[in-house]
Structure 1
Amino acid sequence: MTTSTAAVKARGDAEGGGRATLARRLLETPEVGVVAACVVVFVALALDKSTFAGAVNLQGMGFDLAQYGLIAIGESLVILTGGIDLSVGALLGTSVILMSWFNVRAGLPPVLAIVLTLAITGAVGLIHGLAVTRLKMPPFVVTLVTYTVAQGVTLAITSGTSIIGIGGTFSNLGQTYVAQVPLPLIVFAVVAAVAWFFLERTYAGRQVYAVGGNPEAARLAGIRGDRRVVSMYVTSSLLSGFAGIFVLGRMGVGSASGVGVGWELSAIAAAVIGGVSLVGGQGRIVGIVAGTILLELINNGLTTLQINSNYTNIVLGCVLGLAITADRLRARSVAKRS
């Protein structure tokens, strides 16, 4: 074998080995399963119903994805610290009513109504974080209280009626397209990118994982875990309020009817399906986004196939149950290897 032939063979072996290594890395990526599921579900539905992949339906899915995705990211950040936030859906519903009330009943400009509402939701998140870190209250209990109170506040403000006459700014934010892409979807993509950068590329983000994975070890390492926990609860509540802007913009009225009800379960499901461990310290934004997309595909697909809406929650509940089971099996597998 000549020298040139040997060089070509060596280069070919190296390229083949590189491709094999890349393929192995892709297969070992935790999110590959949920991403593959998204592709399979989308293709199957598109082949069965041509309207599913139509521009109108995809744009509608984009609006829905943004709403659920924002609270899913907030929920996931809390879960990464080892906590849980059951109030994200109810708080979103309350933020819709608060912005409507500030704008219509109090006569405030839309921008000021948004700022005040976000300040309130941020304060709620701060209360959650302080209650969990300073008072050592269980996150489940703390956020369940807010869930109940938020629903009560919503009903008390509206008295069962809708608030009409909101400013056009909300509609502009909730129904605008940029190059045929819904503005809320673009905002969701930006938020996801910022969250990814924070968790994957910053020291503070790595501290979030450390606090959720092993709080005691993080404390001994000098990490101020309480600050990280509080900041994640504040972010979760702010994202609920932020999502409320787009929900109000789409509806055009401040209604308490079904808005945000049960959305916390969808947020938790998206997180767990995307690989976020319920015990904390494990999960990535890529998986969370993919989990949200998969849930939206299933939800929209059931509607497109004209399946009775009463079965939607059954299907989503089964998906959540499978995701939680897979999470526990994954945790047991990791424990055995260690």
Structure 2
Amino acid sequence: MSAETAPARRSTAAPARSRLRALVDTPEVGVVLACVAVFAALALARDTFASAVNLQGMGADLAQYGLIAIGESLVILTGGIDLSVGALLGTSVILMSWFNVRAGLPAGLAVLATLGIAGLVGLLHGLAVTRLRMPPFVVTLVTYTVAQGVTLAITSGTSIVGISPFFGDVGQSYLAQVPVPLVLFAVVTAAAWFFLERTYAGRQVYAVGGNPEAARLAGIRGDRRVVSMYVTSSLVSAFAGMLVLGRMGVGSASGVGVGWELSAIAAAVIGGVSLTGGQGRVLGIVAGAVLLELINNGLTTLQINSNYTDIVLGCVLGLAITADRLRARRVARRS
């Protein structure tokens, strides 16, 4: 009996070990565990951290940073980068305010007009990268600079007041005690997950980012996928701008979106998105955004000098990039 059952035991143990190894090698597991550990530590350190009011505020903040992180990640998956997401968000805040207040457009039309402009910017990014073969870093850096200039030129250093209550209803309302921005973020997250994991076009995005030449030989229209991801990234940034405008209540250019592209890239890399493209999942992106929000809010709750926030963010990003490189080398050796 023992001689007969031993092979059976080995055959059942092998798949179990394989599943355990696959689970350990999944980047999302470490990020999720880090989120749980950080949350528990901060909740024990300060009672107010886990209060309903603070959690609601964190949810609204997460929606803003998480949205641009998803848009940024879609571009990174194709092997590119978008440095304009933060500046474009800030410009979208001003454009929506200007269209609504000074141009007299209804809130819905103001949003659509801004989304149209943002989509055009993303289209220009994609065409410059695919047709002119310009480096994504340079192309989006130009937009980063221009967008900041446009924002200051429109406002002349002043805020645009008197915006429609529609923006406040979207940015400050709650649905069963859950902030509406967080609900919208969940909807966008689900759509991004479905696109990447359950559609043929989504799998093509991974193929183009992982090996462009192999994707071309397989008949995949890689340029179309790259352009569409840049357009989507810009649209998501403008959509996040609508939520920011709703929370602020005025169209202000003071620091809105500045440096947010770094948070978006950090959330993506921390969540397992490879900077070389072709690797990463939505679950990891969301977990990375959650971890950054926990750190940012935790530093504020513990009343630590806000100047240290950028230091912590930079250290976390550096560790994430290092881990990404080590993981890539381990996978290459195993292959």
| Category of TM-score, reference length = shorter chain | over 0.9
Indicate yes or no: 2:131 matched with 1:134. yes
Query: 1:144-202 CA deviation, whole Å, 9 max, x = no partner?
Result: 00000000000000000100010000000001100000011011111111111111111
State the alpha-carbon separation in 1 of the partners of residues 22 and 160 from structure 2: 53
Instruction: State which of 17, 25, 29 in structure 2 corresponds to 1:28.
Output: 25
Which position in structure 2 is the counterpart of 1:236? Answer: 233
Query: 1:206-239 CA deviation, whole Å, 9 max, x = no partner?
Result: 1000000000110011000000000000000000
Instruction: State which of 299, 307, 315 in structure 1 corresponds to 2:312.
Output: 315
Aligned pairs for 1:143-154 (under 5 A) are 143-154=140-151
Residue identity matched to 1:275: G
Which position in structure 2 is the counterpart of 1:59? Answer: 56
Which position in structure 2 is the counterpart of 1:167? Answer: 164
Which position in structure 2 is the counterpart of 1:219? Answer: 216
Aligned pairs for 1:1-80 (under 5 A) are 23-80=20-77
- The Cα of 1:325 is off from its aligned counterpart by 1.3
Query: 1:264-292 CA deviation, whole Å, 9 max, x = no partner?
Result: 00000000000000000000000000000
State the alpha-carbon separation in 2 of the partners of residues 59 and 14 from structure 1: 49
- The Cα of 1:302 is off from its aligned counterpart by 0.2
- The Cα of 1:28 is off from its aligned counterpart by 3.3
What residue ranges of structure 1 are gaps of 5+ in the alignment? none
Instruction: State which of 82, 98, 101 in structure 1 corresponds to 2:98.
Output: 101
What residue ranges of structure 2 are gaps of 5+ in the alignment? none
Change (3 A) 1:281 1:49: same
**Aligned pairs, number:** 333
Aligned pairs for 1:259-270 (under 5 A) are 259-270=256-267
- Alpha-carbon RMSD across the aligned residues, in angstroms, is 2.1
State the alpha-carbon separation in 2 of the partners of residues 333 and 37 from structure 1: 22
Residue identity matched to 1:158: T
Partner-residue secondary structure (3-state), 1:31: helix
Q: Return the TM-score normalized by structure 2.
A: 0.95
State the alpha-carbon separation in 1 of the partners of residues 27 and 171 from structure 2: 33
State the alpha-carbon separation in 2 of the partners of residues 327 and 205 from structure 1: 22
State the alpha-carbon separation in 1 of the partners of residues 12 and 128 from structure 2: 55
- The Cα of 1:328 is off from its aligned counterpart by 1.5
Indicate yes or no: 2:178 matched with 1:181. yes
Change (3 A) 1:265 1:17: same
State the alpha-carbon separation in 1 of the partners of residues 308 and 196 from structure 2: 36
